[in-house]
Structure 1
Amino acid sequence: MKLEELLERLIWQENELYNLHKLGETFAAFEKPKLVETFQLMAEEELRHRKTLEGMLSGGILEKTAVIDYLESLSLEPMLGDERAEPKSLEELILEALVREKHAYELYTRLAGILDGSLKHIFKMMAGEELKHAYRLRIIYEAL
């Protein structure tokens, strides 16, 4: 896998998470109105992640980093293999989002482990936000 492909796939994944959280807003509006704000917050954070990754792609920021040396050995395919989700209920949506948030957390944690400086901090921050999303989703799921 090439660096550009990795970033494009990450951008796609973030967009999928954004779409799931926006759909979560819709489901929540009808089923659990008190959850709308939670889904809005998570969607905003996924949008910010996507824009950050798009900036990395267009700016070539990762081109001369250690990531290039480790791309093949990172075993990222399981985390990047998620297909488009089509949940039919809030419960299905939450379960799908939980898996994707876990994948994003693991991936960003791995990337933070090889990078240094500000890139390490960016991926650590994004991993932390994905972990918070998973935690929120789990609490919501258990309350259903």
Structure 2
Amino acid sequence: MRLDELLERLIWQENELYNLHKLGETFATFERPEMTETFRLMAEEELRHRRTLEGMLSKGSLKETAVIDYLDSLSLEPMLSDERAKPESLEELILEALIREKHAYELYTRLAEILDGSLSHIFKMMAGEELKHGYRLKLLYESL
């Protein structure tokens, strides 16, 4: 896998998470209005992650970094094999989002360990936010 392919796939995954959270916001509006704000906030953070990754791709921020040496050993599966989600209920949506948040957390944590300086800090921050999303989704699931 090439570096730009990695970033493109991460951007796709963040967009999928954004779409899941926006769909969760819609489901919640009609089924569980008290959950709407949580989904909205998570969607905003996923959008910010996507924009950050798009910036890295366009600026070539990861070129000449240690990530290049680890591309083949990052264990990018299962995150990069996630397909488009098609949940039919709020419960299915939350479970799908939980899995994807876990995958994102694990990969961003690996990237933070490989990189130095501000790039490491960015991926640590993103990993932390994915972990918080997972916690919020778990709480939402338990309240169903």
1:52-67 equivalences under 5 Å are 52-67=52-67
Structure 1 counterpart SS, 2:78? helix
Structure 2: segments with no counterpart, 5+ residues:
none
The list of structure 1 runs, each at least 4 consecutive aligned residues, that deviate by more than 4 angstroms after superposition, is none
2:83 matched residue in structure 1: 83
- Matched residues, number: 144
Following the alignment from structure 1 to structure 2, what is the Cα–Cα distance between the partners of residues 99 and 77?
A: 12
Residue type matched to 2:86 in 1?
A: E
Write out aligned runs for 1:5-16 (5 A): 5-16=5-16
| Alpha-carbon offset, residue 77 of structure 1 | 2.3
Matches within 5 A, 1:1-144: 1-144=1-144
Consecutive unaligned residues of structure 1, counting only runs of 5 or more, are: none
SS at match of 1:58: helix
Kindly state the Cα deviation for residue 90 of structure 1 after the two structures are TM-superposed.
0.3
SS at match of 1:77: coil
Q: Measure the CA separation in 2 of the matches of 1:104 and 1:73.
A: 16
User: 1:87-113: CA deviations, max 9, x gaps?
Assistant: 000000000000000000000000000
- After superposition, the C-alpha distances for 1:32-59 in whole angstroms (9 at most, x for unaligned) are 0011110000000000000000000000
> Normalising by structure 1, what TM-score?
0.99
The sequence identity of aligned pairs, in percent, is 83
Q: What's the Cα RMSD here?
A: 0.4
| Per-residue Cα deviation, 1:104-141 (whole angstroms, up to 9, x for no partner) | 00000000000010000000000000000000000110
For residue 102 of structure 1, what is the amino acid of its counterpart? K
Give the structure-2-normalised TM-score: 0.99
